[in-house]
Structure 1
Amino acid sequence: MRELVLLGTASQVPTRLRNHNGYLLRWDDEVILFDPGEGTQRQMLMAGLAVTPIKRICITHFHGDHSLGLPGILQRISLDKVPHPVTVHYPAAGQEFFDRLRHATSYWDNAEIIPSPVSGASTVVETSAGRLTALPLLHSLPTYGYRLDEPGGRRMVPGLLAAHGIAGPLVGELQRAGRIGDVTLEQVSVERPGQSFAFIMDTGLCDNVHELAAGVDMLVIESTFLTEDAEMAAQVGHLTAAQAGAVARDAGVRALVLTHFSQRYQDASRFLDEARGTFDGDIVVGADLGRVPVPPRREATVA
């Protein structure tokens, strides 16, 4: 299963309907929690999610609405005796904040938590789901966006296998060896593109916003403001819904998920209207406890 669970979609100030940030990406057996803000542990309970499957946590930056839920999540991981290591990625420049949150209160700490700070112009980590890349963004303190890229592969085509007399155990042998006699893997298969996902929070427009978003199947991106407040957005390092839509359009994104909404706007449909003015693809206006499936894999056509 590949889906995004929206645990919280507010920005700095939560509302009656929107909790602070929290996003759980289920990507087969790689489960990643992004930006656990205050209340994330309870939101997971409301969504019917356990902490046990979480393999890694990604923090974009150390503002409270993106990280104050981390202590509760880490303590719950210990309480539930999660049997595997949990890696936490966060800006290296915020090490002091991570250390405080890691041991914010006294508890029986029996979990294997692996700190993995990101820094510099780029940090790349290989995971079971693919390559996780962190790139710096433009905000009031060190902030990183994340991108997950699944490696491509090949899909066997039954008709081509039959035409070349390849069946049974020979199919597996061909996949492993790449060749059986005069028959090559390329002759009986087509490319299977890998899927990709990007997560971009608190930032002004910059080159890395576009690089993170380029060609992804799903883009989760902040749209804190509407265009009427574009000047304020630029001053505080945030995006408007129209800018988020333009990023998705220029990057060739397949599915756009808007989130991190300012409490000053009462009508969420305005974010959709603005983004629709710059992007005509699939758009989801994030709502707490919503679930958004990753778009189906793009399949190569058989020549």
Structure 2
Amino acid sequence: MLGTASQVPTRRRNHNGYLLRWDGEGLLFDPGEGTQRQLTLAGVSATDITRICLTHFHGDHCLGVPGVVQRLSLDRVARPVHAHYPASGTDHFRALRHACAFHDVLDLREEPVDRDGPIAVGAFGTLSARALDHRVQTFGYRLVEPDGRSIRPDLLDRHGLSGPIVGRLQRDGEVVVDGRTVRLADVSEPRRGQRFAFIMDTRLCDAVFALADGADLLVIESTFLSEDQALAAEYRHLTAAQAGRVAAECGVRTLVLTHFSQRYDDPVRFHAEAAAVFSGDVVVAEDLMRVPVPKRRG
């Protein structure tokens, strides 16, 4: 959690910024002003970043782009870095990317998002986007790991398998033991891939629920408390109670609340509102906090 404020940073909260470590990927979401320094404070190397994902082009979600891009170039990050952002903001992104003079050696690959659906597929899984309901074009993101299989020790024992042959079975899908062919499906059971969702700046809409469906970890804005629900609706934001409702209805495992308005100084109230409707784990984000993705089921 590199920053957890909303429009105005506070003494304790920087503008937005979130880094998801996902196998070999490092997805940097919504780097607001000051993100480069927050990365340093968090002990994050620029080489950890493989993708930059912007939900929209309000300043608290994108003003950190110039510093981050220049840092990636300064550190001579060798791998390509992919940039996903709403297509309507292409001119904004290019202005941010080239905000000042620097020696640009970065292979930054712009991939504007203009519709719902998958935007990147790889060994890490599928990264998808869906349009949200805000005052400018805004997309939420969802990352889904491929389904796999969990080895069951009792079935290994039944088939007389142990040691290095188990690794070969996982790699090749089947092995021959004493003239018998044992397949991976014979000693394992299906395991659902992990799911992550990132939702910022929106009113409740179908896309919010679609993105959050079955998420192991949901990072979601909760700019307002219910006492200011009218303001939330006017400015197209969520309350903590609404975020809790989404988590409850979507079967989320860990709910992370963030993007707090500067008008509030007691984060406990956000936790209480969400926990009143959601019985799972609720985390009220703080700057530089690390939140683990829950372990795979099975």
Shift of 1:182: 4.6
Structure 2: runs of 5 or more not aligned:
none
Task: Select 1:16's aligned residue among 11, 27, 42.
Answer: 11
- Measured after TM superposition, the shift of residue 121 of structure 1 is 2.9
Q: Report the counterpart of residue 189 of structure 2 in structure 1.
A: 190
Q: TM-score, normalised by structure 1?
A: 0.93
In the alignment, the residues of structure 2 paired with residue 274 and residue 13 of structure 1 have an alpha-carbon distance, to the nearest angstrom, of: 23
Secondary structure, aligned partner of 2:166: helix
The residue number in structure 1 matching 2:58 is 63
2:40 counterpart residue number? 45
- Tell me how far apart the structure 1 counterparts of residues 155 and 269 of structure 2 sit (CA, whole Å): 50
Residues 31-75 of structure 1 show CA distances to partners (whole Å, capped at 9, x for unaligned) of: 110000000000111111111111111000000000000010000
Q: Which moved more, 1:156-165 or 1:231-240?
A: 156-165
Q: Distance in 2 between matches of 1:100 and 1:11?
A: 22
1:85 paired to 2:80: yes
Q: Deviations over 1:200-244 (max 9, x none)?
A: 000000001000000110000000001111111111110000000
Mean Cα deviation higher: 116-125 or 74-83: 116-125
Q: Is the 8 A contact 2:140 2:199 kept in 1?
A: yes
Aligned length: 294
CA distance in 2, matches of 1:280, 1:168: 41
Secondary structure of 1:291's counterpart equals: coil
TM-score for the superposition, normalised by structure 2: 0.95
- Report the Cα offset of residue 179 of structure 1: 6.3
Whether the 8 Å contact between 1:71 and 1:102 is mirrored in structure 2 is: yes
The residue identity in structure 1 corresponding to 2:148 is: G
Corresponding residue of 1:208 = 207
Could you say which residue in structure 2 is the equivalent of 1:274?
A: 273
How big is each residue's C-alpha offset from its partner over 1:136-181, in whole Å with a ceiling of 9 and x where there is no partner? 0000000000011001111223332232234456434543244644
Is 1:163 matched with 2:162?
no
Moved beyond 6 Å, runs of 4+: none
Query: What is residue 126 of structure 2 aligned with on the other side?
Result: 131
1:34 aligns with 2:33: no
Cα distance in structure 2, aligned partners of 1:226 and 1:232: 10
Candidates 59, 69, 74, aligned match of 1:74: 69
Structure 1: distance between partners of 2:78 and 2:20: 20
Alpha-carbon separation, structure 2, partners of 1:172 and 1:74: 41
CA contact (8 A) 2:130 2:141 kept: yes
Paired position in structure 2 for 1:222: 221
Secondary structure, in 3 states, of the residue corresponding to 1:125?
strand
CA deviations over 1:107-135 (Å, ceiling 9, x no partner): 00001001011112334310332110110
Structure-1 separation of matches of 2:114 and 2:244: 28
CA distance in 1, matches of 2:24, 2:85: 22
**Greater CA deviation, 265-274 or 208-217?**
265-274
Q: Does 1:146 align with 2:145?
A: no
Of 97, 103, 128, which residue of structure 2 is paired with 1:102? 97
Q: Alignment partner for residue 113 of structure 1, among 88, 100, 108?
A: 108
Write the letter of the residue equivalent to 2:53: C
Asked if the contact 1:43/1:289 (under 8 Å) is kept, the reply is yes
Provide the rounded CA distance (Å) in 2 between the counterparts of 1:177 and 1:200.
37
CA distance in 1: counterparts of 2:146 and 2:96, whole angstroms: 34
Q: How far apart are 1:296 and its partner, in Å?
A: 1.4
When structure 1 is superposed on structure 2, of 168-177 and 196-205 the one drifting more is: 168-177
Cα separation, 1, equivalents of 2:151 and 2:239: 44
Deviations 1:252-293 (A, max 9, x none): 000000000000111111111111111111000010111111
Instruction: Tell me the equivalent position of 1:297.
Output: 296
In the TM superposition, residue 186 of structure 1 has moved relative to its aligned partner by 1.5
Q: Give 3-state SS (helix, strand or coil) of 2:83's partner.
A: strand
* Alignment correspondent of 2:235: 236
